Amino acid sequence: MPRCDYACRTADHSVTRRGFLGAAGATAALGPLGFAAPGAGAELAKAQKRVLVLFLSGGVSQLETWDPKPNTDTGGPFKAIPTSVPGTHICELLPHTAKQAHRLAIVRSLNSVSPDHGIGQRIMMTGRPPEAGIEYPELGAVAARLLASGAPGLPGHLQILPKGGSGFGTKADAAFLGPKYASVSLGDGKPPADLLRPKDLSPESDAAREEFRRKLNDRFAKSRKSAATDAYTESFDQAERVVRQGEVFDVEREDPKVADRYGRHDLGRHLLLARRLLEAGVTYVKVSHSNYDTHHENFDFHIEQLGEFDRPFAALLDDLADRGMLDSTLVVVMSEMGRTPKINDRYGRDHWSKAWSVALAGAGIKGGAVVGKTTANGTAVADREVYSGHLFHTYLAAVGLDPTKNFYPNERPVPIADPKAAAIREILA
């Protein structure tokens, strides 16, 4: 099947050295920090807790994944198939994932409030609706701050983007946590090409050049130190850490049989890279798979997209379990929204935030659990409605953090998670 052209388009964002350095600088506006539970990261370092988010960008259909409604006016052409958990069924487009259901918890009653791409992603990644006067840090920055062991190595907050680096989010993902916890984006799973040392520049010359830059930077900072200079320094430090451990990005070092199980396509490579990064000590990795924005030909699109997702996702869960990492790695499959139960006149589904699903696995999660319920044709939540704030509390609780504590930017208490919500205890082990 030829790849489809997508109905809803946004501008691509290529990953360049300027973008890499700017990603850190954009998050440093709010100045000095104080933090709640300063020993939390060190205490949890022994358990090596990690978080992996698989972000199905554009808005995956809950009806073609976790909450099928066959033989209804909204259900579409696909069947519901049994899983490894008796009584739990998911869409037939996920046959390999169905065999992993005993490791998964499915939340079928999510209301994420906004059907807008950018706002929806922000809500899902911060666990809060937008508020005037404050930007909240995304899950990756919070995890990198509170779960970091303090050991030198790769940055703690990495994003693996599809080729071209398209996405609906914002680069200011660390907010008041500052540039140290901002994301580093890897287009097609690779560091920016112009980040690495040019071949005609010797290691000795490069080291001398870097030492000279540091001396100038230190001299400047003594008299003019600011959030901007801190961001500049941190961006270079992040770049240096990426360069030092460049071999971790080379998935060709993997056993070919392992690579075959993940698949030789882009998403397979990206999920395999994510496992390598987590194993190398990265606290948080987000892998984006695009594009699920199926305003037309929803069913053909989902055959294609979920055909790419299903096998490598199942291989990832097996791989994490076989390596003893699943018990310490929280895995979340989310999107910025779901799709409308109503099928439009182009055989598509439009944006929908009122009743859709996410799936979780691994650290702190009760495998086989299903929480919440939608109506017979999926048009509304029928039982146990939850919001993004409940999910955010759940993610943090699953990796052993207390989401009711505060951050203290500029000595002002800011709750780590939305104080109006609480963890979904039914899916916590």
Q: Mean pLDDT lowest for which of 12-16, 367-371, 412-416? A: 12-16
Structural domains of the chain, with CATH: 17-427 (3.40.720)
Which pLDDT value is given to residue 213? 78
User: How much of the chain is in helix, strand and coil states, percent to nearest 5?
Assistant: 35, 15, 45
H or E, element range at 186: strand 184-187
Instruction: Give the rounded distance of the alpha carbon of 259 from its chain centre.
Output: 22
Which pLDDT value is given to residue 203? 81
Dihedral pair phi/psi, residue 289, rounded to 5°: -120, 120
Sign of torsion, CA 1 264 314 15? negative
Which pLDDT value is given to residue 232? 60
Candidates 255, 249, 262, 246; CA nearest to 188 is 249
Which pLDDT value is given to residue 201? 83
Q: Are 235 and 179 in contact (CB under 8 A)?
A: yes
204 band by pLDDT with thresholds 50, 70 and 90: confident
Residue of higher predicted confidence among 10 and 429: 429
Instruction: Please give the angle made by the CA atoms of 427, 428 and 429, to the nearest 5 degrees.
Output: 115
Cis peptide leading into residue 291 (ω within 30°)? yes
Q: For the segment 315-334, what is each residue's pLDDT rounded down to a tens digit? A: 999 999 999 999 999 999 99
Which pLDDT value is given to residue 245? 67
Question: 5: exposed, middle or buried (C-beta count within 10 Å: 0-12, 13-18, 19+)?
Answer: exposed
Q: What is the mean pLDDT of the chain?
A: 86
What's this model's pTM, rounded to 2 decimal places?
Answer: 0.84
Token digits of residue 240: 């240096």
Look-up: residue for tokens 């998964």?
104
Residue 34 has pLDDT above 50, yes or no: no
Torsion of CA 318, 320, 324, 328, to 10 degrees: -130
Which pLDDT value is given to residue 252? 87
Q: Residue 236: what residue type?
A: F
The Cα–Cα gap between 398 and 429 comes to 8
The three state secondary structure string of 136-167 is CCCHHHHHHHHHCCCCCCCCCEEEEECCCCCC
**How many CB atoms are closer than 10 A to CB 70?**
15
Q: Mean pLDDT lowest for which of 150-159, 166-175, 306-315, 399-408? A: 166-175
Residue 97 has pLDDT above 70, yes or no: yes
H helices, E strands: number in the chain: 11, 17
Which pLDDT value is given to residue 99? 98
**How many CB atoms are closer than 10 A to CB 399?**
22
C-beta pairs of 408-416 under 8 Å, 24+ apart in sequence: 408/33, 408/34, 408/35, 408/36, 409/30, 409/31, 409/33, 409/34, 409/176, 409/177, 410/30, 410/31, 410/32, 410/33, 410/176, 411/34, 414/134, 414/136, 414/176, 416/36, 416/142, 416/146
423 band by pLDDT with thresholds 50, 70 and 90: very high
Token digits of residue 223: 């008299």
Question: 117: exposed, middle or buried (C-beta count within 10 Å: 0-12, 13-18, 19+)?
Answer: buried
Which pLDDT value is given to residue 63? 98
Q: Mean pLDDT lowest for which of 14-28, 178-192, 257-271? A: 14-28
Residue 107 has pLDDT above 50, yes or no: yes
Token digits of residue 263: 């698949």
Residue 53 has pLDDT above 90, yes or no: yes
4 band by pLDDT with thresholds 50, 70 and 90: very low
Coil, helix or strand at residue 300: helix
Look-up: residue for tokens 């691509």?
12
